[in-house]
Amino acid sequence: MDTAFVFGYGSLLQRGDGVPCRLAGHRRRWGVAMDNRRTLPGYKYFLDPGGARPEVFVAFLDVVAEAGSAVEGLAFPVAADVLAGLDARERNYRRVDVTAYVDAGLGGTVWAYQGLHEARERYAAGVRAGTAVASRAYLDGVRAGFAAFGLGFDTEPEVPVRDLTLVRVPERG
């Protein structure tokens, strides 16, 4: 099996390793959300500064196909077991082969995570209802990841940014 890479265009830049490159024919946007009212084993939810669980849709970055556009990011090598873990972590996304769109000859398959239809629908529903928000910690982490590699981050949220604390939900068992 050839070497695999993942193209990070958001929070995955915080990994701190990889090759800066561009994903042609795509645009980064806020467009995926999770429903903070639901508790899913092995996933997460968020609390507000007062410790309450707000009834919001928490937004995350996404990439969509768009001719003439390009997304700056970072391609990092991944072993098969790490890739399986990323698939589980990125449960609002599907992994797609973007090798032909990456401007770096990495010598292996390059994957990117694109939002699932239902995750994009949650974002749209939250925007319509006025309940879509971005986590300040997520946004700050993305900005820091870009800054660490001297990359420009140009995708500010179109929804309110809130101070939220991440809570990991254990797997059942």
* CATH code of residue 129: 3.10.490.10
- Contact assessment for residue 77 and residue 3, using Cβ atoms and an 8 Å cutoff: yes
Dihedral sign, Cα of residue 105, residue 68, residue 75, residue 82: negative
For 117-148, the DSSP string reads HHHHHHHHHHHHHT-EEEEHHHHHHHHHHHHH
Answer yes or no: is 173 within a domain. Answer: no
SS3 state of residue 84: helix
Number of domains in the chain: 1
Q: How far apart are CA 95 and CA 81, in angstroms?
A: 15
Answer yes or no: is 75 within a domain. Answer: yes
Answer yes or no: is 28 within a domain. Answer: yes
SS3 state of residue 170: coil
Distance spanning both ends of the chain, measured CA to CA: 33
Predicted pLDDT of residue 28: 97
Q: How far apart are CA 65 and CA 113, in angstroms?
A: 12
State CA 35 to chain mean position distance.
15
What domain range is 10 assigned to? Answer: 3-168
Answer yes or no: is 29 within a domain. Answer: yes
Answer yes or no: is 145 within a domain. Answer: yes
Answer yes or no: is 20 within a domain. Answer: yes
Sort 154 into a burial class: Cβ within 10 Å, 0-12 / 13-18 / 19+: exposed
Predicted pLDDT of residue 172: 81
CA neighbor of 83 nearest in space, from 170, 172, 3: 3
Q: What is the pLDDT along the chain (173 residues), one digit of tens a residue?
A: 578 999 999 999 887 788 999 999 999 999 999 999 999 999 999 999 999 999 999 999 999 999 999 999 999 999 988 898 899 889 999 999 999 999 988 889 999 999 999 999 999 999 999 999 999 999 999 999 999 988 888 899 999 999 999 999 998 85
Answer yes or no: is 69 within a domain. Answer: yes
Amino acid at 99: T
Answer yes or no: is 33 within a domain. Answer: yes
